[in-house]
Structure 1
Amino acid sequence: MSRQKELPARSAVPTELKWDLTLLYPDDQAMKDQLKQTVSQAHQLHQLAGHLGDDGETLLKALQMSKSIGEALEREYVYAFLRRDSDTTDAQATELYGVAEQKATEIETALSFMDPEIVKLDQEKLDQWLQSVDGLGEFKFALHQIRLQRGHVLTVDEEQLLSRLSRSLSSADTIYNTLNDADLHFGKIKDENGDTVELTHGNRSQFTESTNREVRKAATLAYQKPYHDLRNTFAATLNSYIDSRNSIATLRHYKSARQASLSANQIDEQVYDTLVATVNQHLDLAHRWYSIKKKALKLEPFYQYDIGVPLAGKDLLRTTFAEGKQMVMDALQVMGPDYIDGLKKEFDNRWIDAAENRGKRSGGYQIGVYQANPYILLNWTDKLYSTFVLAHESGHAMHSWFSQHHQPSEYADAPIFLAEVASTFNENILTEYLLNKYRDNRELQIFILEQSINGFIGSIYRQTQFAEFEDTAYREQQKGRTLTADYLDQISHQLVEKYYGPNVKLVGTDTQSWAYVPHFYMNYYVYQYATSWAIATTLSERVWTKQPGALDRYLDFLSAGGSADPITILKRAGIDVTNGQYLNDSLKVLQKRLDQIEGLLNL
């Protein structure tokens, strides 16, 4: 696919570049019909309210019904979600997603009695049921997870009230995505040939990485402009979202939203603080990278918009979507036949939506459907970066695929703390593959090493920067401060300045550096990109070098889903995240990469 000067309408995108939603439902009406049945089943389950403590058989029945409802609702909700994200300007798709959201809230409300009743169960009686009731043992860990929330699960009436309010409490996320994906326009700029082109989320990197300084400057400032123009709206939206998370945390008797988010997956808050402290101790490595680029490019001053220029002098290894798929397939042969079989299914059965179109959601993601298959959203640009995104999201997809085939649905979703390990693992494997394939080509070695270093910078340093910003915003809002655009600009500026260091001269508005981040609407998610990159660096190195048992342990990790707490699952894979050594080990790899590229550049 080549870059187009105007984004096509959804209807103009070739079928082979769009995901096949008929793998879920033949059409919208079929989904709506099934959703009605799921709602009906939820109301049937609600008839058991007040009786989960009667006997083990009743508890088992409720858990099995809840499992069945969850599987069906996931399929229905994801279908509507993907329909909307395909084209956020499509009124019919937006309406369908609204219906799905409304019915999901109704279902959640109907089932909200379960957690409070499970929390109140007598432990001795529950242990007896687990031993005597056939089939109940499957839910032992799920019951344990729920009961860990004792003290934070409210009364049945209170849980029902929160369920009814869930859409309103989460509305800031929907508003942000609509504003960012459907209503934000960046105008047009001149490309390297002097042609006027439309700037979009998807093609921005093509221009910000241009070897023509005027082009990348124009793209950077144009991309910043609508965020600055709407800075007060973005600030109010983020303030509303953070206020809702802080309020819910208080209602559930947590000390903070951070504690509420991390404790759900049994992650000690020290993991968060250790990440920030360790990365801050190694900021010199990030600053060294910018110094290397400044010297190699011979630019003085070295502006923020100069960072993206490839050191090899041009954009190498451009790949079409078909070529990118083949490159990922070749790199991941080291993963063995079962993994490759799943990857072929992904590539051959239109699980991927590749092309950018007008109104399509920006960025990339993967979402799994237990009763069907994973789906991947991309916005392909023919740059090597897009191939890395494909490898990344395919890692997510294979994590979902393996878990779905080895776990019951209640354990098929990996804890959030583990979600980014499988994706960044694939990026590291792709890097090793390319460095090996082009080991005799100095120019390509420089280009590939830069991709790897950018991965470290983007995943460890940038995401830790975001984590510091997010934590500060939550803490200040909890104290009673309104998160105005001026204040958010202030804290973001201080962090950007600290992380970029003395070699980079900042330009433009401070607003874009926080307003464009959709993951701030995922409640303490960003820090896990950094921890996951560090974990994946170690695991991928073991698999790539074919250390005994490494591949089997990693495939077991993919298959484990959420069947145990993340600390336990990682220990089985050979990683201990209870101390910061894994971060130090990962940053040693970054230091090695910096040494390699500095040597190649003769600096």
Structure 2
Amino acid sequence: MAETKQLPNRSEVADELKWDLTLLFDSDDEMRAALKQTVALVTDFVKLEGQVGKSAQNLLNALQAEKQIDEQLEREYVYAFMRRDSDTTDTAAVSVFGEAANTLSKLGAQMAFLEPEIVAISDEQLAQFQQAEPQLAEFEFLLKKLRSQRAHVLSDVEEKLLSRAQKSLDASEEIYNTLNDADLDFGQVHNDDGKLVQLTHGNRSQFTESQIREVRKEATLAYEKPYQKLRNTFAQTFNSFVDSQNMQAQIRHYDSARQAAMSGNHIDESVYDTLVKSVNDHLSLAHRWYALKKRVLGLDTMYKYDLNVPLAGSDMLKTTFEEGKQMTLDALSVLGPRYTAGLKQEFDHRWIDAAENKGKRSGGYQISVYDANPFILLNWTDKLYSTSVLAHESGHAMHSYFSSQAQPSEYADAPIFLAEVASTFNENILTDYLLEKYQDDRQKLIFILEQYITGFIGTIYRQTQFAEFEHQAYQAQQAGTTLTADYLDQISGDLVNKYYGPSVTETGTRTQSWAYVPHFYMNYYVYQYATSQAVSTALSQRVWQHEDHALENYFSFLEAGGSDYPVNILKHAGIDVTTDQYLKEAFKVFEQRLDQIESLLLK
């Protein structure tokens, strides 16, 4: 009988590989007690209903009270969120998250009167309030941003109703996460030694990068199988989510869900369309890479399961979690002692949950608590890719860390359009560091360059492919088309073939190509990965090459948080996203590295 490797239970994972939730609360009961206190604050807060616009003091009191409540709710909700994500099969963790989510929804409905009352204040009256009460200066941008959306703020009663219904409207996301993280079973597959191993979200890359073709084929088909089996459930879940987003956009008087998603941060929809056009204009570079890889591998037919096998041969630069942390520190030392001191806080005080365990949420993310610290979820494998993910999520964490030090809580969280710049910036710096460190080692250079090329394609090309899929799905649903599994397979499959080009042949099912993407439940999120990668390419090159004021400008960007509109913050950092110039710069770097690896491979 072949040996079977199983994931550990949560209780079997060493403490040093788990985040320390006592940095927030010592226990579930302590969190519940704090949540009750927050509920009491909201009981006092609602006494301001109908009074917010009557005086400068009332407006200030409302804004300060909301700020305090939001800070406390963030701490309580994030604790429960991480408890659940640590082990989605733990009924106690799922229960405490449910309590926090339900309370958050109810309190949001009770507090929903605030925005309509602020919007109802006339410009003249607000100017008088601001002159009479200097402390309102802290909230100037918040008020400006909120009032700029006044055409989309509903009546007090409507806002309360919508807020109360939010948990139900977001239920599709929770259903998807439970289905994807807790219920899917990919079965067992053979590893390179011929032993049976449980296939998971976290270890899939170990098989798809195998030098043995049958190993990667078996794993790829096994990973697709449960998505195919549940394709109609996944399609109905996604259809419900898109329908809820389109409905909310409609009742808020937006033309589309895309406009609703982008207008809150004053990002013109042309930024989205320019991205799609620019990437389509440069598809030949991606096709060139796949043709090169097919040639070097000596394949008559290259299937999708052949794409991830490293051309350098063995899996180089394997790193343990400890080694990955040190590599990240070494690479990011170019940002100076202040940045590395922040990283050491992250590494030394268990802000990271690294090990994979049964029931743990797949993938990786960063989530921050203003009056505590950022936290990172990983599912570590001893590959260079995991170190790249660590650098990526640490970019998010340090963005939160520095913005929380520099900004009040209402501006500490940067919008995603900016947050993904900080994360991909770190990945770019890590690549520069490794290319310099191993500049005389041909095989390692090939390995590093391929990691970069794969990452660039995964971030700019793949996320733009996802953006095209997402937009087509939203438009179709808005026009009355039900997003069936067959329909989603068709539009996704056509896009996959367009982006991969003639050198890559389809295999297996088309369903997995859209059903496995959790970011589709975040409403026009994915395009920002691509724009951010392009922006960070330009910024990281300036810092790496020690251009004048580049590091100073980058820290200003980190500290800005969400204190201005994203386009303005980036302009201060030297990037104008209203043109396609930043995209051209990114593709130029990509082409240079494609030239470099082609030269190395064809020597």
TM-score by length of 2: 0.99
CA distance in 1, matches of 2:485, 2:593: 38
Matches within 5 A, 1:21-60: 21-60=21-60
Matches within 5 A, 1:511-550: 511-550=511-550
Matches within 5 A, 1:134-213: 134-213=134-213
CA distance in 1, matches of 2:465, 2:433: 29
Residue 291 of structure 2 is aligned to residue 314 of structure 1: no
CA distance in 2, matches of 1:515, 1:124: 51
Shift of 1:4: 8.6
Match of 1:124 in 2: 124
Paired AA for residue 438 in structure 1: Y
CA distance in 2, matches of 1:438, 1:448: 9
CA distance in 1, matches of 2:499, 2:228: 22
Paired AA for residue 205 in structure 1: S
Paired AA for residue 496 in structure 1: V
Residues 509-561 of structure 1 show CA distances to partners (whole Å, capped at 9, x for unaligned) of 00000000000000000000000000000000000000000000001100000
Residue 394 of structure 2 is aligned to residue 391 of structure 1: no
1:328–1:391 Cα contact (<8 Å) kept: yes
CA distance in 2, matches of 1:318, 1:51: 61
> Secondary structure of the residue that 1:53 maps to in structure 2?
helix
Unaligned stretches of 5+ residues in structure 2:
none
1:394–1:423 Cα contact (<8 Å) kept: yes
Q: 1:273 to 1:4 in 2, by over 3 A?
A: farther
CA distance in 2, matches of 1:228, 1:587: 35
Paired AA for residue 510 in structure 2: D
Paired AA for residue 138 in structure 1: E
1:109–1:163 Cα contact (<8 Å) kept: yes
CA distance in 2, matches of 1:193, 1:416: 42
Paired AA for residue 144 in structure 1: K
CA distance in 2, matches of 1:545, 1:476: 46
Paired AA for residue 329 in structure 1: L
Paired AA for residue 372 in structure 1: A
Match of 1:424 in 2: 424
Shift of 1:409: 0.1
1:249–1:256 Cα contact (<8 Å) kept: yes
Shift of 1:291: 0.7
> Secondary structure of the residue that 2:194 maps to in structure 1?
coil
Match of 2:367 in 1: 367
Matches within 5 A, 1:439-518: 439-518=439-518
CA distance in 2, matches of 1:472, 1:40: 45
CA distance in 2, matches of 1:287, 1:40: 59
Shift of 1:134: 2.6
CA distance in 2, matches of 1:229, 1:342: 45
Shift of 1:415: 1.5
CA distance in 1, matches of 2:442, 2:389: 24
Residues 277-328 of structure 1 show CA distances to partners (whole Å, capped at 9, x for unaligned) of 1100110011011011111111111111000010101110000000000000
CA distance in 1, matches of 2:11, 2:353: 13
Task: Using the aligned pairs only, state the percent identity.
Answer: 64
Match of 2:300 in 1: 300
1:131–1:137 Cα contact (<8 Å) kept: no
Match of 1:259 in 2: 259
2:41–2:69 Cα contact (<8 Å) kept: yes
Match of 2:403 in 1: 403
1:88–1:361 Cα contact (<8 Å) kept: yes
CA distance in 2, matches of 1:530, 1:134: 41
> Secondary structure of the residue that 1:151 maps to in structure 2?
helix
Match of 1:232 in 2: 232
CA distance in 2, matches of 1:514, 1:121: 45
1:354–1:379 Cα contact (<8 Å) kept: yes
Q: Give the CA RMSD over aligned residues.
A: 0.9
Residue 567 of structure 2 is aligned to residue 593 of structure 1: no
After superposing on structure 2, the runs of 4+ consecutive aligned residues of structure 1 that deviate more than 6 Å are none
> Secondary structure of the residue that 1:189 maps to in structure 2?
strand
> Secondary structure of the residue that 1:376 maps to in structure 2?
strand
> Secondary structure of the residue that 2:430 maps to in structure 1?
helix
Match of 1:10 in 2: 10
1:224–1:508 Cα contact (<8 Å) kept: yes
CA distance in 2, matches of 1:72, 1:532: 30
CA distance in 1, matches of 2:88, 2:206: 24
> Secondary structure of the residue that 1:524 maps to in structure 2?
coil
CA distance in 1, matches of 2:149, 2:51: 20
CA distance in 1, matches of 2:131, 2:600: 64
| Number of aligned positions between the proteins | 601
Match of 2:218 in 1: 218
CA distance in 1, matches of 2:131, 2:203: 58
2:4–2:195 Cα contact (<8 Å) kept: no
CA distance in 1, matches of 2:132, 2:113: 24
TM-score by length of 1: 0.99
Shift of 1:43: 1.9
Shift of 1:131: 2.0
Residues 434-467 of structure 1 show CA distances to partners (whole Å, capped at 9, x for unaligned) of 0000010000000000111111100000000000
> Secondary structure of the residue that 2:52 maps to in structure 1?
coil
Residue 361 of structure 2 is aligned to residue 357 of structure 1: no
Paired AA for residue 592 in structure 1: Q
Residues 373-406 of structure 1 show CA distances to partners (whole Å, capped at 9, x for unaligned) of 0000000010100000000000000000000000
